[in-house]
């Protein structure tokens, strides 16, 4: 997603399935369905921009997409030295993110 972070996108996907179940079961007026609507309305408030598509022999490909609320900025996402991103931060993040895998490996080895 261009304007949603990963975790919000995951929740959106999960709630979309629940929404479909509610509607399929005829529970349109259920408070849960209304709450999901409110959540979707809130998270898509910044969903705006433009998309350029390329059509070729029955297929559609995204050529470009732009939004004033894009969470991707090349000047920040670059791995070049800069003020916002410190490359040394990556090592700590990788160690922390991989910690559950390391603990599992230690348990399997009896450590």
Query: Tens digits of per-residue pLDDT, 36-51?
Result: 999 999 999 999 999 9
For 15, the domain range is: 1-70
The DSSP letter of residue 53 is: E
pLDDT, one tens digit per residue, over 59-93 is 999 999 999 999 887 776 666 666 677 777 788 88
Shared-domain flag, residues 66 and 94: no
- Strands 59-66 and 50-56, by their bridges, are antiparallel
Shared-domain flag, residues 47 and 81: no
Shared-domain flag, residues 12 and 66: yes
Shared-domain flag, residues 39 and 62: yes
The confidence score (pLDDT) of residue 87 equals 74
Shared-domain flag, residues 53 and 93: no
Query: What is d(CA 76, CA 55) in angstroms, rounded to the nearest whole number?
Result: 32
- For 23, 67, 91, 93, 110, the CA distances from 88, given in Å and listed in that order, are 48, 30, 6, 9, 32
Shared-domain flag, residues 66 and 77: no
Domains identified in the chain, total number: 2
Shared-domain flag, residues 38 and 77: no
Provide the mean pLDDT of the chain. 90
Shared-domain flag, residues 80 and 65: no
Is a pLDDT exceeding 90 seen at residue 53?
yes
Shared-domain flag, residues 106 and 88: yes
Give the predicted TM-score (pTM) of the model: 0.66
């Amino acid at each position: 997603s261009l304007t949603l972070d990963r975790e919000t996108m995951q929740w959106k996907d999960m709630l979309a399935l629940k929404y479909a179940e509610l509607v399929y079961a005829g529970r349109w007026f259920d408070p849960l369905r209304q709450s999901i609507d409110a959540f979707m309305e809130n998270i898509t408030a910044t969903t705006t921009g433009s998309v350029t598509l390329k059509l070729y022999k029955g297929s559609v490909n995204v050529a470009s997409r732009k939004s004033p609320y894009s969470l991707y900025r090349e000047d920040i996402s670059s791995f070049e030295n800069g003020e916002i991103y410190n490359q040394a931060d990556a090592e700590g993040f990788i160690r922390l993110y991989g910690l559950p895998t390391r603990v599992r490996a230690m348990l399997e080895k009896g450590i």
